[in-house]
Structure 1
Amino acid sequence: MKVKAVIFDFGNVIINIDIPRTFQAFASLTGKRQAVIEKLVLENQLFRRYETGQFTDIEFREIVRQTVGFPLSDHEVDRAWNSLLLDIPQERIDFLIELRKKYPIYLLSNTNNIHIEASNSYLKKTFGYRHLDELFDQLFLSYEIGMWKPDAEIYHYVLETINLKPHEVLFLDDNPHNIQSASALGMQTILVEPPTCITEYCKTIF
């Protein structure tokens, strides 16, 4: 596999996540069933709307309160929202550091400011890195650029920004829809299926 750059998704590729934990956390706070919370969050497209920059953190917290129908504090909203974030194994950090010596590496994630702030706090506490951008050549975060995977425009934007053609990059993501859309553009792709780590997928490539 010949590539000039590697692009990584964030959730379940770099950081382990468990989305149902967020639904469970809101259910515990509100006294409502987890299935009800999940239905409300998905029907109101909270992830996509917040993660494409359609509202600020303050607006998001208020929309969450309206969606779940409960007067949660800002701290409670953030804590529940961040409960899906788990850990980043040391071996992944080590892998990124070594890979970056050979190739430019990028992060392309559907994410939001509250999750990124929490992730940066975790990185600093656990590994001594103040911000994700210390690990990558550039971050492409959906809420900052107003685009969303698997829409083709986000891949075109990244490729134009890093000045590479689709076949010149390798993209790793845990979402089959994101992989399919990237592959359709001609990008080399790897579907990451937890609990298999990216180091396992990449050890025979680099």
Structure 2
Amino acid sequence: MQNIMLFPKNILFDLGGVILNLDIPRTMACFKSLAGSEEEFNRIFGLLAQEEHFERFERGQISADDFLARFVDLAKRPIDKAQAKMAWNAMLLDLPAQRINCLQKLRAKGHRLFLLSNINEIHLEEVRKIIREQHGALDFDGLFEKAYYSHEIGRRKPDIATYQWLAEDAGILAQDTLFVDDNADNIKGAREAGFWAQLHLANTDLERAMANYLK
């Protein structure tokens, strides 16, 4: 399937790396500091990966308290949940006003906008805090016809069933929808579900990427 539509009726956006700036290595560096060494960091994160700890959190299958407590339990050095939470949130940066303007322009052009984010309870709380601090009373979710957060819907990308479920829930057709994400696996999943898809270079100019649909 081609990467460009002439005029997508619907545009489905990812959040982190597309609308909100992310720096994942920043979180990794914070956890390495808490762990005390790269070897200890690799041990902890290797065990968490085996347990699918992050995926389960993004599906809302474990609580925020249990998510943080697992880091504390696995660490050999004394750390607390507040430190783990600070490290976990370190990747979340800013939401540039230009991207909000871009979304508003796309809506004005007649595109129906939706959001699909692999996220979790802790990060969504922090994202809302960032938005309040940077944009006051902005109704971020109101920029979209509907916002889908993985931990609230119990589904995550790149599962094909997630895109199929969303299309049915939103009342849209995959072939009429452009999906924009900075993760190649998520793009692949969307295309396999019948969506048009555009891979976005993380943390770059969204309006430039959407130029074809703003004419």
Common fold, TM-score beyond 0.5? yes
What is the alpha-carbon distance in structure 1 between the residues aligned to residue 212 and residue 182 of structure 2?
A: 19
Deviations 1:144-197 (A, max 9, x none): 111111101110111001111111111100111111111122211110013532
What is the alpha-carbon distance in structure 2 between the residues aligned to residue 70 and residue 147 of structure 1?
A: 34
Partner of 2:130: 122
What is the alpha-carbon distance in structure 2 between the residues aligned to residue 21 and residue 116 of structure 1?
A: 18
Does the 8 Å CA contact 1:14/1:92 hold for their aligned counterparts?
Answer: yes
Residue 10, structure 1, aligned to residue 15, structure 2: yes
- Between the two proteins, the alignment pairs up a number of residues equal to 206
Partner of 2:115: 107
Deviations 1:22-79 (A, max 9, x none): 1211121231325455434434433211101110111111122223344432321211
What is the alpha-carbon distance in structure 1 between the residues aligned to residue 123 and residue 149 of structure 2?
A: 11
Partner of 2:25: 20
Does the 8 Å CA contact 2:20/2:93 hold for their aligned counterparts?
Answer: yes
Counterpart amino acid of 2:204? T
Residue 48, structure 1, aligned to residue 55, structure 2: yes
What is the alpha-carbon distance in structure 1 between the residues aligned to residue 133 and residue 156 of structure 2?
A: 29
Residue 73, structure 1, aligned to residue 86, structure 2: no
Partner of 1:189: 197
What is the alpha-carbon distance in structure 2 between the residues aligned to residue 17 and residue 40 of structure 1?
A: 24
Does the 8 Å CA contact 1:41/1:67 hold for their aligned counterparts?
Answer: no
TM-score w.r.t. length of structure 2: 0.88
Structure 2 gaps of 5+ residues are: 1-5
Residue 169, structure 1, aligned to residue 177, structure 2: yes
Report the 3-state secondary structure (helix = DSSP H, G, I; strand = E; otherwise coil) of the residue aligned with 1:10: coil
What is the alpha-carbon distance in structure 1 between the residues aligned to residue 16 and residue 48 of structure 2?
A: 19
Residue 154, structure 1, aligned to residue 159, structure 2: no
Does the 8 Å CA contact 1:8/1:108 hold for their aligned counterparts?
Answer: yes
Offset of 1:129 from its aligned partner?
Answer: 3.5
Residue 137, structure 1, aligned to residue 145, structure 2: yes
What is the alpha-carbon distance in structure 2 between the residues aligned to residue 149 and residue 190 of structure 1?
A: 15
Offset of 1:119 from its aligned partner?
Answer: 0.4
The structure showing larger relative contact order (alpha-carbon pairs under 8 Å, at least 6 residues apart) is 2
Does the 8 Å CA contact 1:120/1:130 hold for their aligned counterparts?
Answer: no
What is the alpha-carbon distance in structure 2 between the residues aligned to residue 69 and residue 43 of structure 1?
A: 19
Higher mean alpha-carbon deviation, 4-13 vs 122-131, is at 122-131
Higher mean alpha-carbon deviation, 169-178 vs 28-37, is at 28-37
Which runs of structure 1 show a deviation greater than 6 angstroms over 4 or more consecutive aligned residues?
Answer: none
What is the alpha-carbon distance in structure 2 between the residues aligned to residue 65 and residue 135 of structure 1?
A: 37
Report the 3-state secondary structure (helix = DSSP H, G, I; strand = E; otherwise coil) of the residue aligned with 1:55: coil
Structure 1 gaps of 5+ residues are: none
Report the 3-state secondary structure (helix = DSSP H, G, I; strand = E; otherwise coil) of the residue aligned with 1:114: helix
